[in-house]
Amino acid sequence: MTRSPAETAQLALLLEVSATPKPGNVDRERDLSGLRYDHFLAGAVGSREGLELAGEGAPVGSAFERAVAGMGCQEGGNTQFGSLLLLVPLVRAASGREVTPAGVREVVEGTTVEDAAGFYRAFDHTDVRVGEPPEGMEPLDVRRGSEAVPAVEERGLTLLEVMAASVPGDDVAREWTEGFERSFRAAGVIGGTEGTPSERAAAAFLSALADRPDTLVATKHGERVAEEVRERAAELDERSALDTEPEAVEAFADDLVSRGVNPGTTADLVCAGLFVALERGELVV
Amino acid sequence: MTRSPAETAQLALLLEVSATPKPGNVDRERDLSGLRYDHFLAGAVGSREGLELAGEGAPVGSAFERAVAGMGCQEGGNTQFGSLLLLVPLVRAASGREVTPAGVREVVEGTTVEDAAGFYRAFDHTDVRVGEPPEGMEPLDVRRGSEAVPAVEERGLTLLEVMAASVPGDDVAREWTEGFERSFRAAGVIGGTEGTPSERAAAAFLSALADRPDTLVATKHGERVAEEVRERAAELDERSALDTEPEAVEAFADDLVSRGVNPGTTADLVCAGLFVALERGELVV
């Protein structure tokens, strides 16, 4: 027996949250206030059915909505919305073939207005932290959830077009428009690193955090804080601090947690990277 | 949306392995040689489909075989065979009604020869550490896996009868013949303890370990070691050591791990207890 893409995606969710240290985020050693490690375990459990739908070829929007509704069946609030927004098209792209940038690009380019409606409906199931909509986009504010669906339909926007409108400012949406570039890059780091899955995912996290300012941090704390976090991650990443100075990374992690600065977008990218690395056999569990 | 019994069972598997400290066993802070925390996460992922079958009313034996086959899709070997042997009938008993000792007794009493055959076939999918069969039972040695099925069928043994023949010496089998007494007791400890799910499951683990010698420890290291472990757990449990002396429990955990003494049967009981506590709303995640 081999693992199905939906099973691999669920395992990626579990390995992502378990990886430690992952500065600023929940991991197996760190809870945030009101958002605990076990909420993420339950979020991964609840996500499974939506991921199965994606694996069976259901439309991306409805599979995503189902995954988010299931994820929301726990007391911690939003745990893995962004991760699922990457995993659902990746699972579709991995079904019956090898997962590639071209394959997932084909999936997102095939999304429809109905997929966009499913995406908006997903916001009814959990509270997601997002920025203000761009000028003139108020009717399409995702925080309106299913109430915005008529406006989406009227304008005939596909889910890929909705994602494109969220760039810049949301690096999960950016993956949709850039062929999942950073997800595949994270998979490369995971595949090219030694150690346990936790150590390899933690290395990919630090590398991705060093690469671009985390957009969730920018939304919650401003661009300046996001850039400061990126610079500190870059210093540590350059010194391969996970090998040479694990305490420095642990201290960075504790500092971000105590300031409530959680780079959740970077965690989403690592989750997508774990999925790709597992699917390709570059990470074996 | 609410969690289905199969989802609850998968969550119980994840919460059980995550609970720390759980002296001698893999937890979120301790790997054993060749058997890591992430193998248990993957085991929980692979178990899900068999648990779903149980929730849909499939025969216990085939649901169990499917769960074990999926659990075995990882590199660590046997991770949760015993837990699944408790969870599968519990999920059946929880489908569409409240889970009770009477309900699960009805499920196990309804098992057939075909269920027994499924149980034997499950041994083809993973290596399970079990003791020598009793005198005259060699043809029914579970280690023969599916090869023993003709002997099982010839003697017309139901799965409950197979379980009854494994008592004493296997306290997972004993649950089948004793109305899941210790599983429900563990649920009571979990429900009656304060703290995070990890802390509550760790308290239930220490309590169950103090209660009876772990039968996996007895099989691997002899009765004397199992009794020594029980006595040390009882001392710590009596002092409510998780509250008053966490370091003493951590030291006990490290000692057992270094000696390769892992009370896996006790972990299985705690997993079943987590399932019952979650189903009854005595533990909320």
Using DSSP, state whether B35 is helix, strand or coil: strand
Q: Is residue A12 included in any domain, yes or no?
A: yes
Give residue ranges of A with CB < 8 Å to any B CB.
Answer: 1-3, 7, 10-11, 14-15, 18, 28-29, 31, 36-39, 41-42, 44-46, 48, 69-70, 72-75, 196-198, 284-285
B37 min Cα distance to partner chain A (Å)? 9
Which sign does the torsion angle of CA B10, B15, B18, B22 carry?
Answer: negative
Please give the span between the terminal C-alpha atoms of chain B, in angstroms, as a whole number.
14
How many angstroms away from the CA of B161 is the closest CA of chain A?
A: 30
Minimal CA–CA distance to B23: which of B259, B276, B190? B259
What does the pLDDT read at residue B242? Answer: 64
ipTM of this complex prediction, to 2 decimal places: 0.96
| Total domain count, chain B | 1
pLDDT, tens digit, 9 for 90 and up, residues A25-84: 999 999 888 899 999 999 999 999 999 999 999 999 999 999 999 999 999 999 999 999
Overall residue count recorded for chain A in this entry: 285
- Domain assignment present for residue B149? The answer is yes
- Could you report the per-residue pLDDT of B85-107, keeping only the tens digit for each? 999 999 999 999 999 999 999 99
Q: What percent of chain A has pLDDT over 70?
A: 99
pLDDT for the residue A271: 98
B262 contacts B219 by C-beta, under 8 angstroms: no
pLDDT in tens, A194-246: 999 999 999 999 999 999 999 999 999 999 999 999 999 999 998 776 777 88
In a domain, A124, yes or no: yes
Give the separation between CA A223 and CA B194, rounded to whole angstroms: 40
With an 8 Å Cβ cutoff, are B196 and A38 in contact?
yes
User: Is residue A284 in a domain?
Assistant: no
Tell me the percentage of chain A whose pLDDT exceeds 90.
86
Q: Is the dihedral of CA B63, B65, B66, B70 positive or negative?
A: positive
Q: Nearest CA of chain A to the CA of B122: how many Å?
A: 13
Which two three-digit tokens encode residue A206? 């630090």
CA angle at residue A11 from A5 to A12, to 5 degrees? 85
For chain A, what percentages of helix, strand and coil (3-state, to nearest 5) are there? 70, 0, 30
CB contact under 8 A, A197 and B38: yes
pLDDT in tens, B19-60: 999 999 999 999 888 899 999 999 999 999 999 999 999 999
What's the maximum distance between 2 C-alpha atoms anywhere in chain A?
56
- Residue A35, beta-bridge partner list: A32
Asked if the structure places residue B284 within a domain, the reply is no
Is B23 a member of any domain? yes
Q: Are B77 and B29 in contact (CB under 8 A)?
A: no
Q: Which residue has the tokens 């997002």?
A: A130
A93, with CB counted inside 10 A (0-12, 13-18, 19+), is buried
Interchain proximity B31–A196, CB inside 8 Å: yes
Residue B115 contacts residue B59 (beta carbons within 8 Å): yes
More confident position, B238 or B78: B78
**Residue B158, min C-alpha distance to chain A (Å):** 27
Instruction: List the CATH number of the domain containing B186.
Output: 1.10.4200.10
Mean pLDDT value of segment B229-249: 84
Q: What pLDDT band is residue B246 in, cutting at 50, 70 and 90?
A: confident
Phi, psi of B21, deg, nearest 5: -85, 145
Domain range enclosing B253: 5-279
pLDDT, mean of residues B236-253: 82
**B77, B124 contact by CB (below 8 A):** no
pLDDT in tens, B141-155: 999 999 999 999 999
Average pLDDT for chain A: 95
A&B contacts, CB < 8 Å: 93
Q: Assess if residue A70 is contained within a domain.
A: yes
- According to the 3-state scheme, what is the secondary structure of A19-47? CCCCCCCCECCECECCECHHHHHHHHHHH
Q: Which helix (H) or strand (E) holds A283?
A: none
| pLDDT (average), residues A139-150 | 93
B250 in a structural domain: yes
Q: Which tokens belong to B102?
A: 């009477």
The model's confidence at residue B241, banded by pLDDT at 50, 70 and 90, is: low
